[in-house]
Structure formats: C-alpha cells, structure tokens
Structure 1
Amino acid sequence: MDEMKMDRNASRRARGRPRAWDDKSSQNTIKSLDRAMAVFEHLSTQSGVSLSALSEQLGESTATLYRILFTLETRGLVEFDQAQQLWHIGPGAFIIGARFLRRTSLVERARPVLRKLMEETGETANLGVEKSSNVLFVSQVETHANIRAFFPPGTLSPLHASGIGKALLAFMEEAQCDRILKRSSLERFTEHTLCDPAALKDDLEKIRARGYSIDGEEKNLGMRCIAAPVFDNYGEVVAGLSVSGPTSRVSADKIDALAASVKEAAKALTTALGGEVTQPRT
C-alpha cells in the first residue's frame, strides 16, 4: 500500500515540477540554453544585425554565436538575410507568440473593443500589458489614415514614455510602481520625456485623478497618445487601452473627447473580463 502511495505521489510530481521546483539556484539552469535564449531575446530587439556586431554587443565569440544562431535557425526562430548578411528574428517566434496570445482571453475580448474605438476616434487603437518593466503591445487596430502610429504586437516600449505605460504605473500597487521606477533608467527620448522621478510621480497623480494618461510627444516627436487602464476581477490593473496618432490630428483641443472614448472602451473591456474599475488611490 505504501509503495502504491509513493508511486502515485511520484506520478503527480512528474506531471508538473519536481519536488525542488522553487529552487532558483544555478544547478537548475541549463547554461547553454540560457545563453541561447539571451541571444534570441537580444536579437528580437534588433531590426537586423550582423554576426560581428552581435558579437560586440553581447561579448560572445562569433563561433559561439554562429552555433546558437544556426540552431535557432533550424527551428525557424531566427533567419539569415543572405544579401545583407544580417540576422533577424524568424517567423517561428511569431508562431509561438501567437500561441501565447491565444492562451489568454484578454486579446480575444479586446479585439471588438479596439475596433470600435478606432472607428469612433479615427485613430489607431492599441492594447498593452506590463512586461519586465516595459509595455508589451499585444494587439492593435490601425486607422485608415495615411499617417498613423504603428506598434506591432510584440513591440516593447519603456513604461515612463508611453501612454499605456503611465496608465499602468498610475494604477498598479504603489509598492510595485516604486520598485519598477527604482530600477528604471528613465531614458530621455525627446525634450518632453519625463526623466525626473519627482516629475513623473506628479504626472502619475494627475493620471489617477482624471482616469487617463497622455503621452505628449514623450517617446516620438509629433505623436500623441491617450490611454486608460483595464482591470481584472481582483481590481488589479492588467492592461491599458490607448489611441495614438500625429499631433496634427490628436490635437490639444481634442484630448477631452478622445479621452472620454478611451475611458469608455477601457471600462467596456474591464467589464468583459469580469472586472471592476478601481477607484484611484489617494
């Protein structure tokens, strides 16, 4: 009987993680795989990079990098442009990413909300979540206008210089917000970027009070974004919705009207997720 009980316990552990699954020590890390993933992640931030440049950026030998890239290439995760002699992220990465997006109902439920928001405002509608102290854009419905904002799914943007990012920061738990800001460099992208922690915190207070954020050319000159938070059934901010476009169309006199549409869309998505809009903390 005891042996049968031990066998059942072993079987249950084998289905998920081993007994010491919470051990984060190096003995549980496959170093070669970890190195390959570091190369893969770095390459995903580039628009195309040569082997020699990648070697300089990562401090790895070209021989080691080539073996890693060749292995990833066989899986379709990276690809090589023979004409330009540049390495790029491959279609296999998109396929895996798309499978991840299908795992959650957030993107699926957001699509009709984004489409309606774009049609109502005439501007590109975006959905983003927090990922490793950045905004990860996971869905977008583009405007039909010739000049438009473009954040394809998978794009990462710093929280402090993004409408969605600031909406997330403003409504997340204060301790979490402080941790993120403490380890963030608050890089300057334009003369309008909020790089001073005190100025950024002051802006976050204003965002909480009015329920929406404004990226006023803080990442890209000539572009403005208005965003609002989306909450889950625990009242925690899980995403942000935004509209973005050139300042010639998303002008200062249109902010109030656009903000009302964005807030209504964020509220609709919150409801679709079974959530409830959280009252701003004071």
Structure 2
Amino acid sequence: MAEAIRRRGRPRKASPEAPATVQALERALDMLDLLAARPNLTLSEVAERAGQPPSTTHRILHTLASRGMVESDPATQGWNIGPASFRLGSAFMRRSGLVERARPILRGLMEHTGETANLGIPNGDAVLFISQVETTETIRAFFPPGTRSPLHASGIGKALLAFGRPAILDAILSGPGLQRFTDHTLTDPEALRADLARIRHRGFSLDDEEKTRGMRCIAAPVFDLTGEAVAGISVSGPAHRIQPEHVKTLGAAVTAAAAALTEAMGGQPPEPQT
C-alpha cells in the first residue's frame, strides 16, 4: 500500500521543544530596540552596538526603512524609529483602552500638582511607560512612551511590586542583584522589602532620587477587576520642587487619580490584608 500523502501545511514537529527563532528577524528587532533607546545613531554606530557587520546592518536598516519601521535623517545620517513603528505601538496601547481612559485623569493630575503625570504598566522586570502629560514647567521629568525603568528603582515599579504577586518580587531578588543607579538606589533585598511594606501601609510609593539624581517620583497602583495591580500612575519632577514636606499631599493626589482610573477600568482594590 502506498504511503498516505501528508497534507501540506506546517512541518511535523521534530520535538516538543519550543520552535526555533528566525535569526535575521531577531537582528532586525534588536536594531529596533536599539534605535528606540538611542535615537539618531549612524549606521556604523548601530553596527557596533548591535555587534553586526556594517553590510548586514545596512541591509537590515534599509529593509526596515522600506516598510517605514525606521528612517534616516539626511542631514545627520542618523537612524531613528519610523512612523510604522509608532502605528504598531499605538495599536498596542489601544488594545485595552487604558491609555484613553487614563488621559483625562493624567491631565487633571498634572494640573492639580503642577508636575508631569505618567502612566506605566509592568513589562518583565521593568515598568513600560505608555502615556504622559507633561507639566508646563521649564525643568521637568520626561518619560516618553516606550521608555522602560527597573521595577526596584522607579515610583510606579515599586508600587507594582508592593501590591503585586509575591512571585514577581521573588524572581527579581533571585536574579544577579539589584542594579545601582544612584547612591539612593535600594540594592539590599531587605531594605527593598521594608520599603515595599511602607508603601502597602500608606498606599503610594516614593522614588527618592533612586533612578536619577535630582528627580523624585510618587506613584500609586491601578487595579483590575480581580484586584491585581496592572498599571501605575505617578507624578515626577525635580527634587527641589518635590520636597519631603510635599510628599504626603502629592501622595494623596496620586492615590486618588489611581483610584479613579481603577474605577474607570471596572477594577477594584484588593481586600486589605489582616
């Protein structure tokens, strides 16, 4: 009997292991990440930082440029994220309606406090900032959408750790160590745990120049309908404006804004722990 003809389609699985990745695609995505973090790099700078030959880098960048994912500035020969990347990012932010619902709340928070208001969501071991309403002050904090900041060294990050699942904190503390950014960064696990306990007690977090010297940030968590912390709202600004005596008042304003967004998203805070 002739062997049955196998239907065309996906190839047979060689093993139950995860499918192999496409190396060329990984390189292209690495370059997109690089340009998102460091705009206006030249082709040779992209090649050096990506660890790829200039010829390979040239082909990848021009392929991405043909789809609008990146673009080159003729004046500087620098490469930047293109409009197609922005459209993809915007589609992600529209997925849950979180950004749209947060926008008026962020604007009201900025107008009430006079400081930049931010919205972030957890992204692995970091916070991903997805929206911001800037203050009109000349000196101000700036976290454009797409910026990432470590959970242990940011206002929103610590709020998410304080009210999030314990496994998230355990995973971070079991890693290679807490990175130090300033002399205020909490790199000792017990010091971080103590700070998170204080955050749970008062309802908001304080980044006291822990990520960037001279900048402070106050944040509170946003909860979904199951009581899980899925986002955070913060105000951030220079330390000379956010003085210690202002923290309690700003904390109350941020907590109220986070509660308003929780309600707008149909969420609820978790039951108090006894």
Q: Same fold (TM over 0.5)?
A: yes
After superposition, residues 2-41 of structure 1 pair within 5 angstroms as: 25-27=18-20, 29-41=21-33
When residues 184 and 84 of structure 1 are mapped into structure 2, their CA distance, relative to the original with a 3 A threshold, is farther
CA shift, 1:243, in A, is 0.8
Q: Is this contact kept in 2: 1:209–1:280, CA < 8 A?
A: no
Name the counterpart of 2:193.
Answer: 201
Q: Report the TM-score when normalising by structure 2.
A: 0.89
When residues 93 and 184 of structure 1 are mapped into structure 2, their CA distance, relative to the original with a 3 A threshold, is farther
Q: Which string of whole-angstrom CA distances, capped at 9 and with x for unpartnered residues, describes residues 167-209 of structure 1?
A: 0111110012211333365222211111222211221111111
Q: Which one has a larger percent helix, Structure 1 or Structure 2?
A: 1
Moved more, 173-182 or 154-163: 173-182
CA shift, 1:246, in A, is 1.4
Moved more, 89-98 or 228-237: 89-98
Instruction: Return the alpha-carbon distance in structure 2 between the equivalents of residues 18 and 259 of structure 1.
Output: 56
Moved more, 182-191 or 229-238: 182-191
CA shift, 1:31, in A, is 2.9
Name the counterpart of 2:226.
Answer: 234
Instruction: Return the alpha-carbon distance in structure 1 between the equivalents of residues 144 and 11 of structure 2.
Output: 38
Which among 9, 26, 34 is matched to residue 42 of structure 1? 34
Q: Is this contact kept in 2: 1:208–1:281, CA < 8 A?
A: no
Instruction: Return the alpha-carbon distance in structure 1 between the equivalents of residues 123 and 80 of structure 2.
Output: 22
Indicate the percent of aligned positions where both proteins have the same amino acid. Answer: 55
Instruction: Return the alpha-carbon distance in structure 2 between the equivalents of residues 279 and 255 of structure 1.
Output: 25
5+ long unaligned stretches in structure 1: 1-9
Name the counterpart of 2:91.
Answer: 99
Q: Is this contact kept in 2: 1:171–1:280, CA < 8 A?
A: no
Q: Is this contact kept in 2: 1:76–1:91, CA < 8 A?
A: yes
Instruction: Return the alpha-carbon distance in structure 2 between the equivalents of residues 279 and 144 of structure 1.
Output: 38
Q: Does 1:171 align with 2:136?
A: no
Q: Does 1:109 align with 2:101?
A: yes
Q: Is this contact kept in 2: 1:215–1:226, CA < 8 A?
A: yes
State the SS of the aligned residue for 2:37.
coil
Q: Does 1:142 align with 2:134?
A: yes
Q: Report the TM-score when normalising by structure 1.
A: 0.87
Name the counterpart of 1:126.
Answer: 118
User: What RMSD over aligned residues (CA atoms) do the two structures have, in Å?
Assistant: 2.3
5+ long unaligned stretches in structure 2: 1-6
Instruction: Return the alpha-carbon distance in structure 2 between the equivalents of residues 40 and 146 of structure 1.
Output: 31
Name the counterpart of 2:58.
Answer: 66
Instruction: Return the alpha-carbon distance in structure 2 between the equivalents of residues 63 and 112 of structure 1.
Output: 47
Name the counterpart of 2:215.
Answer: 223
Moved more, 77-86 or 61-70: 77-86
Name the counterpart of 1:274.
Answer: 266
